Chain A
Amino acid sequence: MVQLPIIDNLMYNVQRQGKLAFYMTHYGEEATLIGSAAALANDDEVLGQYRELGVLMWRGFTLADMMNSSFGNCEDPCSRGKQMPMHFGSRKHHFHMISSPLATQIPQAAGVAFALRRDPSRRGKNCAVVYFGEGAASEGDFHAGMLFASTIPSPTLFIARNNGFAISTPANEQYYGDGIAARGPGYGMHTIRVDGNDVLAVYNAVKEARRLCIDEGRGVLVEAMTYRVGHHSTSDDSFAYRPRQEVEDRKRLDNPLARFRLFLEARGWWSAEEDDALRARLKDEVLKAFKKAEALPKPELREMFEQVYGGEEPWTLREQREELGRLLKKYGDVWEPWKTELKKHKGAGKELMDTKP
C-alpha cells in the first residue's frame, strides 16, 4: 500500500517529463487493491481493467518487471513492447493480460472460471477474479459476464471499483440505480458493498465473497466504494471537471493509507520512524529499478512480427518482414526518423536487414 503511491509519484512525474508515453496512478484505491489481493489465493486467476498493479505486485511481480513493462524495453516480460504502459500481465502470477477495451475481460472471466471448474486439479480450489470500474460496468460485456457466470455456474468473483468517475463522467451520469451492487441480485448473485478505503473491510468482504464463490461455484459481486484521487491518466486534467478542493478534502479526510497507518500505530505495531524508513527504502528501490529499465534498449525489431499467429507463419507476415528489412537496409542510414529510432532498439534492426528475401 505504501509502495504503490511511491511508484505512482515517480512514474507520473517522469511521464510529465516525457520519459514515458503514458501512466495511470492508483491514488485513493490502494486499500481496495491490496485488501482484495490479500484475500485471494495467489493462484486465483485475475483479469483486470488497468488500475490493478497493486494486485499483481502483491503476488511477487517485481519492480524490475513493472518498470521494464512500462518502458516496453527488451526485458519487458508482459507484452515485449507491444502494448501501452500499464497493460500488465503475467502467466506466472495468474494475472491475465490487460487490454484497453473496457469490460471485455468480464465475460472472459466467466469463461476462465468455467475452465477452472472443469479442471479437476483446481475445481473447488480457485476462482476467477475480475476487476472493473463503475464506468466499465455500463458496457454490454458487464451484463454478459454477470449473466453467464450466474446462469452457467462459474466461480467468478466480480470486484467493482466504484471510484466516482469514469474519466470526466461522474457516477450520477453513469447510472440512476443504486450503484453496481444493486444489480447483483438481478442476476441472482450474492452481492456486498464495502468501504473501499478500509483495507480490513475490503479484506474481510473479499475473503467471504471468495469463499461463497468457490463453495457455491457461482458468481459473487463485490462493490468497493472509493474515490479516484488522481487524474484518470496522464492524458487527463481532472480539475477541468471537478473542483480541486473536493479532491483535497478526500485526500485529507478519507485516505486509505492514513486510516490503516493510524490503526497500526494505535496497536503499537507501527511508528512514524518506521514509516519514514520504509518510504525512504522504497523510494530508493523504485528509483533504482526505474533507472535500470530506462537504460535498457527497446526489443529487437524482428519481435514486431512475432506472436501474431501460433504455428506456421503466414506468408503475409513473412513477406512484410522481408520488405521492412529491405527498406531498413536502403533507408536506415539516410532517413532520420528511422535512423534515430533504430539506435534505440536492441540490435538496431540488423536482424531484419540481414535476412535473405
Chain B
Amino acid sequence: MTRAGAEPVSLVPATMISLKSTGRWRAATLARLHRRVRRWNSTATVAHPAGGHLPSVATSSFLRTTRDSALRTAGIHWTDEQESGSSDSLIAGRETRKMNMYQAVRDALSNAMMRDDTAVVFGEDVAFGGVFRCTMGLAEEFGRERVFNTPLSEQGIAGFGIGIAAMGQTAIAEIQFADYIFPAFDQIVNEAAKYRYRSYGQFDAGSLTIRCPSMAVGHGGHYHSQSPEGFFMGAAGIKVVIPRSPTQAKGLLLASIRDPNPVIFMEPKILYRSAVEQVPVGDYQLPLSKAETLIRGSDLTVLSWGTPIYHCETALHMLANPSDKLSSHVPSSVRGAKVELIDLRTILPWDVDTVAESVNRTGRLVVVHEAGRVGGVGAEIGAEIQRRCFLKLNAPVKLITGWDMPVPMQFEKFYMPDSLRILDGIIEALTY
C-alpha cells in the first residue's frame, strides 16, 4: 500500500525526523524540550521547589510509582479476561511496566489491534512510528495493511476513517497536531457526529477514534499548541476525551476505541515523555464520561484536564507552603484550605454529577484550561454549575484560562494558566 522502499525504521528520535519531513516543527526547539524535561526516577523523593510547572510532572503524586498503586487505579476495568472469569478487583499476578505517555498510547493501540482484527491505524507518518513515536513498531508488529501512512490531507483522513467505521470496522486515525484538525472539522461535525442520528441508527461511525496531540509544549506557537476541545463541545454525537497520564491514556484510549461513538482523543503532547508511571500491561479500560477526584477537599473545587492538572497540583503545594517570596501574597487564613482537585477526563459528554456534587459540598469552583476563555469549555461548565449549585455557591465560578488570542510563541509563559495564576485564582475564590 505504500511505495517500494518506504521509510526505514530509524533510531533517531522520531520527533526530529518529522521535523524535516513535515516542515511543521523545528528540530532545535524539540531538542530543547528533551533537555528541559527532567527524567522521572522512581526512587526520587525530593519535592521540587514550587514555581516551575514542568518539573511538577516529574514528581507528581498523581503518577503511580508502584505496581500495586498502578493496579489499583480508580475505576479500572480489566478487559483481558475470559468471558467467564470477570475479575475486576483481582490484581494478583498482574504486571505493570514503567512507561511514558507515548509508550502507553502505543501499548493501547497494540492491545486494540491484537483483540480486534478489523482495527487499523493510519495518518500522516504513522508507519515509521509517528512524529511522537506513538506508533513505534506497530507496522512491523501488525503489517502495513493495518498500520499505514495516508496522503497529507486531514479531511481525507477523517472521511476515510468514517468510511471504514461505517462498515463496522475499527478505524484509529491520527491527526498529527490538534491544531490541524480544522480541515477535518466538516467531516467530524457534519458527518461523524451526525452519522447515527441522521440514519435512524442504520449507519454509524462509532468505531472511529481520532487521536491528536494537543495543548502547549513550551514553544509551539500558534499551530503546535492549541486546545481545540471547546470547538467540539457543541458537536452532539461525538465524544471528546483528554488523559493526564500514561495509565489514564491507555485505559481511556482503549475505552474510546471500543466506545460505540466516534471519539476525539486529545493527548497533551508535553506529557508524552515527561509523564512516566507504572502502567498495567494487561488490557483494561477506564470509564468515559467519568471525572476522577484526585484530591478530596471541602473548601474549594478545582476542575481541570490534561496538562494543567499538574499546574494545579503545584499551585496547591504553593498554597499550603508558599515560598518566602510569595508568602506575603498567600494569607495565612487560606493556607490550610482543603481544596478538592478533579480531573474531568471526558469533555463531552462531561460528568456533571461528580462536579456538581463536589461544588455543592465546597461552595466554590475554579476551572482551569489552556484554551481561551470565550466560548470555551469552562464557560459551559460554569453556566451549568451555577444553575445546579446556585444556593451553595459562596463565590463566583472562576475561570483560569489562556487569554483570548492565538497562542503566542515568545509570550507563552504569560499566556498559559500556570501554577501562579491558579494559585492567585484559588486565593481569590477562597477569600471572596
Q: How far apart sit A115 and B146, CA to CA, in the bound complex (Å)?
A: 11
For A144, give its contact among B155, B349, B353 (CB under 8 Å).
B155
CA distance A314 to B289 in the complex (A): 9
Is the beta-carbon distance between B190 and A111 smaller than 8 angstroms?
no
**In whole angstroms, how far apart are the Cα atoms of A80 and B202 in the complex?**
11
B191 near A82 with CB under 8 A, answer: no
A119–B206 alpha-carbon span in the complex (Å): 18
Q: Is A96 an interface residue (CB 8 A)?
A: yes
Residue A112 lies at the interface, judged by CB distance under 8 Å to chain B: yes
Q: Which of B323-381 contact A (CB under 8 A)?
A: 349, 352-353
Q: In the complex, which residues of chain A have a beta carbon less than 8 angstroms from the beta carbon of B156?
A: 107, 110, 141, 143-145, 147-148
A307 contacts B by Cβ under 8 Å? yes
Question: Taking the complex as formed, is B93 at the interface, i.e. its CB lies under 8 A from any CB of chain A?
Answer: no
Cβ of A89 and Cβ of B199 under 8 Å apart? Answer: yes
Among the 9-residue stretches A5-13, A98-106, A176-184, A205-213, the one with 4 or more Cβ atoms under 8 Å from chain B is A98-106
| Contacts A79-B200, A91-B203, A309-B261; A316 near B160 (Cβ below 8 A) | no
CB atoms of B199 and A107 under 8 A apart: no
* B187 in contact with A119 (CB, 8 Å): no
Interface flag for A45 (CB, 8 Å)? yes
Report the Cα distance A315→B348, complex, angstroms.
11
Tell whether B204 is near chain A: CB-to-CB under 8 Å.
Answer: yes
Query: B256 on the interface (CB 8 Å rule)?
Result: no
**Chain B proximity of A93: nearest CB distance (Å):** 10
Q: A87-B198, A118-B120, A314-B349 are in contact. Are A99 and B191 (CB under 8 A)?
A: yes
A-B contact count (CB 8 A): 165
Q: Judge whether A310 is part of the interface by a CB distance below 8 angstroms.
A: yes
B171 within 8 A of A: yes
Cα-based distance from A14 to B259 in the complex (angstroms): 43
Q: How far is the CB of A300 from chain B (nearest CB, A)?
A: 13
Q: Is B406 an interface position by the 8 A CB rule? A: no
B294 within 8 A of A: no
Interchain CB contact under 8 A, B183 and A99 = no
Q: Are B187 and A104 in contact (CB under 8 A)?
A: yes
Is A169 located at the chain interface by the 8 A CB criterion? Answer: no
Mark A152-165 against chain B: 1 for CB-CB distance below 8 A, else 0.
Answer: 11000000000000
Is B201 a contact partner of A108 (Cβ separation < 8 A)?
no
Task: Please report the C-alpha to C-alpha distance between residue A109 and residue B164 in the assembled complex, in whole angstroms.
Answer: 9
| A82 engages B198 (CB within 8 Å) | yes
Contacts of A110 on B, CB cut-off 8 Å? 156, 159-160, 163
Closest to A309 in B: B261
Task: Enumerate A281-326 residues with CB–CB distance to B below 8 Å.
Answer: 306-312, 314-317
The answer to the question of B9 belonging to the interface, with a C-beta cut-off of 8 Å to chain A, is no
Q: Mark interface residues in B132-173 (1 if CB within 8 Å of A CB, else 0).
A: 000000000000010010110101101111111111110100
Q: Is B196 an interface residue (CB 8 A)?
A: yes
Q: Which chain B residues lie closer than 8 Å to A153 at the CB level?
A: 1
A sample of 5 inter-chain contacts (CB < 8 A) reads A82-B198, A115-B169, A148-B150, A148-B156, A314-B289
A-B pairs with the 4 shortest C-beta distances?
Answer: A111-B163, A107-B159, A144-B156, A310-B260
13 extra interface residue pairs, beta carbon distance < 8 Å, beyond A108-B191, A114-B164, A307-B201:
A89-B199, A104-B187, A107-B159, A111-B164, A114-B160, A115-B118, A115-B167, A147-B151, A148-B150, A308-B196, A309-B236, A310-B196, A312-B289
